[in-house]
Amino acid sequence: LQVRMEEELAVNSSHAFSLCQYLAYSRGERASRVETVKDVISQQSKKIKEAHYTKEEVKRILATTSNLVEIEMNNELINISHNTFLLLRQMMKQAEETNATLKMNLSEIQNLELLKAVAQFEKEIHDKKAERTATILKDPSLLDESIKNLSSDFVSEFYRNDLINLTNALQKSSMDHDTSVSALKQRMQTTEEKLASEAKFRNQEQKRINDMEKSQLEMEKRMRDISEQLALKEAELEKKFQSTNTYINMQKILQSKNAIIQRMRAGKSNEDDIEATD
């Protein structure tokens, strides 16, 4: 039985059970309202049978009965509307917990064929028949086709406005997205230009450092060459100076002075020896 309900309603077992519960609840509420109306009519009928009423009194009784029936019918319709509202609110809150958005198709609840199918299904559930009568609920494709045929006739202004609002929101979101992408591209381009400029500056600095190092090496080499040349020049000058008369005379004078100093030291040494002997 449970499997057949799932197939006919085209929903899973949990949802099928909830739908059947709601049908049973609604049936009980309707039965309660009908009993209330029957009691009102029964009481008025007893009044009419108990005594003789004038034409005006009968009119008042009928008017009272009609008013009471109207009140009960209005209460029933309001109750159904409010119950449906609360059930929809429950489902929407549950959907929001999973970040889902529910949409209502009002054309479906105005489809007489579908309403008759639901009535037949409710009757079968209530009567607990083992064999089901084929209804439109058993075939989801027929259900979808029926809804599609009625959609163009029953789409309300609310849904058209909702569609327009969603379209405008989507366009605005797309424009904002394009603006964000453009700004991001501009930032990326600016960053790339800065990176290229910094890379160029680093390359220039590195080239300058390399040139300075190269110049330093060349200068050191030149200094070594100059030092070697100076050493050679000094040696040549020394050699040339030694061959000049001035150098020779200076050498002779130095040798003569050295000889005199040696003789003086030798004479002084002999005097010291004589004094020591005395």
Please, are residues 229 and 221 in contact by the beta-carbon 8 Å criterion? no
pLDDT in tens, 232-259: 888 887 777 777 777 778 888 888 888 8
pTM for the full model? Answer: 0.35
Q: Is 206 helix (H, G, I), strand (E, B) or coil?
A: helix
Whole-number pLDDT of residue 254: 84
- Whole-number Cα distances in Å, 192 to 87, 181, 188, 198: 57, 16, 6, 10
List helix spans (H) across the chain: 2-9, 13-50, 55-97, 112-127, 140-154, 157-242, 245-277
pLDDT interval class at 134 (50, 70, 90): very low
Lowest mean pLDDT across 112-121, 153-162, 169-178:
153-162
Q: Among 32-36, 85-89, 165-169, where is mean pLDDT lowest?
A: 165-169
String of b and e for 11-46 (b: at least 16 CB within 10 Å)? eeeeebeebbeebeeeeeeeeebeebbeebeeebee
Every domain of the chain and the residues it spans: 2-155, 245-278
Query: For residue range 81-123, what is the model confidence (pLDDT) as tens digits?
Result: 777 777 777 877 887 788 877 776 767 766 778 777 777 777 7
**Residue 176 in this model has a pLDDT that exceeds 60:** yes
